[in-house]
Amino acid sequence: MSEKECPVEKSFKERFSDEVICAYCNTTCEGACDAFSPQEILVPKDIDREKLTGAMSHIEYKDGPLEPLKIIGEQVSPTGSVRKNVGKPQTHHIDPEFMLGMAKVLTFGASKYSPRNWMKGNDITVPYDSCMRHLLAFMGGEDDDPETGENHLFSAGVNLMFMYFYYKNFPEMDDRCFGDKYEKD
């Protein structure tokens, strides 16, 4: 459970008192439920529709004992600021420490090779092999890469990013050797 109160849930709770029920944990969690999404909440079917103003005027109604209310395309903060972020990736779920660790590994690589050298492309098995070496070292009990001084998992993450980049931008360099790409001698 999160210690912070979700501002969207707080806004609804202020409008509907204790009538607001989280769509995910089915309680009046007041935003403490980690799975809470501002895109859908459940409220009792007999809620006073006259209370639905502002952001709540952009909703869909459904039948049932509890009705999902889906906010169409906007989030409204408790201060009234409107953002069209509903349905977009929620990047706040990404661990900032992991992102910074990957950035440190990339910074090390930029000084060892050249900035953005990895973007020139390579066979997909090159970062795969590197990723696996970092994972095996980590699983073998070595937390940090002796060369970079950073956690092996940061380097593995960087290599996964390289693999995806090569897969997406250099399909001609996809040298995976299993599945439909496998060529028998």
Find tokens 């202020």 and name the residue.
Answer: 14
For residues 137 and 26, which has the higher predicted lDDT (pLDDT)? 137
Tell me the two tokens of residue 90: 């929620």
Residues shown for the chain? 185
Q: How far apart are alpha carbons 44 and 24 in whole angstroms? A: 15
The pLDDT tens digits for 74-110 are 666 677 777 777 667 888 889 999 999 999 999 999 9
Q: Residue 3: CA atoms inside 13 Å, Cβ hemisphere, count?
A: 0
Amino acid identity of residue 127, one-letter, is P
The pLDDT value given to residue 67: 43
Distance (Å, whole) CA 23 – CA 37: 8
Q: 1 pLDDT band (50/70/90 cuts)? A: very low
Place of tokens 């709540």: 56
Which backbone phi and psi does 76 adopt, to 5 degrees?
-120, 125
